[in-house]
Amino acid sequence: MFVIRRANLIKTAFFGQNCNQTAGMKNFPSPIKYENIEKYEKPKLRVLEKVPQYPANIRPPKMQKRLRLMRGPELVHNQLIHKQYGIIALGGGRMRHGLFEMIRMSIARKLDVNTMFAIWRVPAPWQPITKKGQGQRMGGGKGAIDHYVTPIKAGRVIVEVGGTCEFKEVSRFLNRIAKKCPFKAMAVSQEMMEQMAAEEARIERENINPYTKKYVIQNNLSGCHRWLSPFDHKWFGKHL
């Protein structure tokens, strides 16, 4: 009797309380149907030029800083074309050629070319950034072109990934790439973007506080016009 009881205790300790299990009906979810998915002949990201190519008779032009190209929300390229997965910027910044190569090589290592594809949603570096040598005096004109960048606004889609795959398969390396960007970015799916848009609309619709940032700025409460910038009058504190 003691041996049987001890054997039952050991069995319960290893296998839990419900040791006697019987086979039953199992309901497995149906596989996901991938419809209207385009296939590309070259599914990998293409190599982008480090320096834009100008005609032989044109000197490469120099530009001002143009910080307005990084400020505010992106109004055009802010949606996923293939309605699947991608990386979006949460703030403004600049992308150099090294960042383009990091994204291209990181995705190429993990991409299954038989079932998946990736496309760029940003152009190659085109804005020139000038720089003077170390120890030079003030004056002497604008410095020489040091490198080229691509300005990014908040909400801009940087790269898209799609095909017969789920978000769990691509989210790991997309999040790893987003963390390495010099600006805030995140990996998203089409469902996540729809949920964020719906949540923002819900918060604005259900807000019962009449003193919103837009109301305060438009009515100059506490004389805020004295220290607000023109961008605050345009976007009401949403973007720097």
Model-level pTM greater than 0.95?
no
Is position 22 within any domain? Answer: no
Question: What pLDDT is stored for residue 64 in this prediction?
Answer: 94
Q: Looking at the structure, do residues 182 and 217 belong to the same domain, yes or no? A: no
Is position 151 within any domain? Answer: yes
Q: Looking at the structure, do residues 120 and 171 belong to the same domain, yes or no? A: yes
Q: Looking at the structure, do residues 182 and 197 belong to the same domain, yes or no? A: yes
Is position 215 within any domain? Answer: yes
Q: Looking at the structure, do residues 220 and 189 belong to the same domain, yes or no? A: no
31, pLDDT greater than 90:
no
The number of folded domains in the chain is 2
Average pLDDT value over all residues in the chain: 89
Is position 24 within any domain? Answer: no
Q: Looking at the structure, do residues 157 and 238 belong to the same domain, yes or no? A: no
Question: Which range marks the domain in which residue 221 is found?
Answer: 209-240
Q: Looking at the structure, do residues 127 and 215 belong to the same domain, yes or no? A: no
Q: Looking at the structure, do residues 179 and 191 belong to the same domain, yes or no? A: yes
Q: Looking at the structure, do residues 102 and 146 belong to the same domain, yes or no? A: yes
> Minimal CA–CA distance to 159: which of 217, 108, 213?
108
Mean predicted confidence (pLDDT) in 199-215: 94
The CATH number covering residue 109 comes to 3.90.1170.10
214, pLDDT greater than 80:
yes
Q: Looking at the structure, do residues 168 and 218 belong to the same domain, yes or no? A: no
Q: Looking at the structure, do residues 161 and 113 belong to the same domain, yes or no? A: yes
* Alpha carbons 164 and 194: distance in angstroms, whole number: 21
* In contact, 97 and 148? CB cutoff 8 Å: yes
Is position 69 within any domain? Answer: yes
Is position 219 within any domain? Answer: yes
Question: What pLDDT is stored for residue 20 in this prediction?
Answer: 55
State percent of the chain over pLDDT 70: 90
Q: Looking at the structure, do residues 192 and 222 belong to the same domain, yes or no? A: no
101, pLDDT greater than 80:
yes
Question: What pLDDT is stored for residue 21 in this prediction?
Answer: 54
Of 39-43, 141-145, 152-156, 160-164, least confident by mean pLDDT is 39-43
Q: pLDDT confidence of 22, banded at 50, 70, 90?
A: low
